[in-house]
Structure 1
Amino acid sequence: MNMLTRGTDSENTIFPSFIIQALAGFEAKAETQEQQVQAKQFLDCLFPLDFGSHQEVSAYLIDYCHLVAYFADGQHCGLQAPKHFIAYSGERDKPSQIVFRDGKGSHVELTLSATQPSGLNQVWIEDIQLESCAELPQTQDHVAVMRHWVSLVKGACGLPQLCSETKEYHGKNREDYILDESFTR
């Protein structure tokens, strides 16, 4: 996995360890159904529900400032740590993207498919993108930071896809939530 780290004087890692672990789980992509299982296991690990599993979720919706997961039997619950839900795209009753932020401040974007395969009663995940930031010193007081997104589900030949772009969402309180491709600290 040499492509995931960059040696520098301080041996900084470009990608946080949770991204490296997630990529290792997705490296050997098999069938599309297996990708769904792996993606939902990743969500269960980082952003667990109050009960049940992301494997069993039939729909997500935004209720006030909370992400709510609905199951086929009508039960519903939120996240064990509601603060991890940050933003969304689409409609509150049918989000197309859901943004989480882990305890260290890294973002994870979950993209949901607008259509599910027939006969399937679970949410279909189109992609999961993980945020990674690379710092580029400008002056003593300022550091430029480039935000990169690593796709876990989409990619070519089993390799992760990397991109940089500005992303705009609705914050959970309905304010704009923008993640620029670069920023200064």
Structure 2
Amino acid sequence: MNIHTQQSNLIDHSIYNFIKQVMPMTHANANTALEQHSDSEATAYAKQVLDQHFPLSNGSHQDVCSYVIYYKQLLAFFADGSQSGLAEPKQFVALTGHKCEPTSLVLKNNGFHVEVSINRRGEYGCNDLAGIDDVQVEATLMTIVNSQQAPFQRSWTSLVSGQAGSCNKQFTSKDGTEYEV
């Protein structure tokens, strides 16, 4: 077994373990599993994943009213006026929208990205305290063909709706440069 095949197997195993941990469904069909839960339960589950893999210094993502970016740091504001950053600030890597009103936040943990979409008028966001409309998990899948590294293929799966898709997305990194996932 060559080094590229070994690396590919490690990446595939790592991706599988991460997805298995964060995905709420136990069935092969994501939509079947999610249909058994209400929209608020699906959003609450997504926030539990955020609390587990991207915890705040104080409080829970469940109780956040809004998110802002302040001096390259993600801040979460609560109803009582208090605020908290991430327990590991380096996990916040990018955003879309304005720093005072981001439309999405990109968090990174162990090589995996999570996009938190914020839309207070969205299907799910209109019923969420922080306006979280979706939380998508990204895993980079690497295919090895003839012992040569092929291009990365991005796979995104929603923790709220269960929908999956593949695409590269562009964001603005916390230092203002282009960030592509």
Return the TM-score normalized by structure 2: 0.80
Give secondary structure in 1 for the equivalent of 2:171. Answer: strand
1:38 has 2:45 as partner: yes
Note the 1:59-98 alignment, pairs <5 A. 59-98=66-105
More strand by share: 1
Number of the residue aligned with 1:182: none
Q: Which runs of 4+ in 1 moved over 6 A?
A: none
Q: Which has the higher contact order (CA 8 A, sep 6+)?
A: 2
- Give me the whole-angstrom Cα distance separating, in 1, the residues matched to 2:16 and 2:108: 13
Number of the residue aligned with 1:112: 118
- Give me the whole-angstrom Cα distance separating, in 2, the residues matched to 1:151 and 1:19: 11
AA aligned opposite 2:84: C
AA aligned opposite 2:79: A
The alpha-carbon deviation at position 39 of structure 1 amounts to 1.3
- Give me the whole-angstrom Cα distance separating, in 2, the residues matched to 1:62 and 1:170: 12
- Give me the whole-angstrom Cα distance separating, in 2, the residues matched to 1:50 and 1:14: 27
Residues 10 and 69 of structure 1, relative CA distance in 2, 3 Å threshold: closer
Return the TM-score normalized by structure 1: 0.78
Gaps of 5+ in 1: 1-8, 155-159, 180-185
Note the 1:23-172 alignment, pairs <5 A. 23-24=23-24, 28-29=33-34, 30-102=37-109, 104-115=110-121, 117=126, 122-138=129-145, 140=147, 142-154=149-161, 160-172=162-174
CA RMSD of aligned residues (A): 2.4
Residues 117 and 128 of structure 1, relative CA distance in 2, 3 Å threshold: closer
Give secondary structure in 2 for the equivalent of 1:97. Answer: strand
Structure 1 window deviating more from structure 2 (131-140 vs 58-67): it is: 131-140
Gaps of 5+ in 2: 1-7
How many residues align? The count is 163
The alpha-carbon deviation at position 140 of structure 1 amounts to 4.1
- Give me the whole-angstrom Cα distance separating, in 2, the residues matched to 1:70 and 1:110: 15
Number of the residue aligned with 2:16: 16
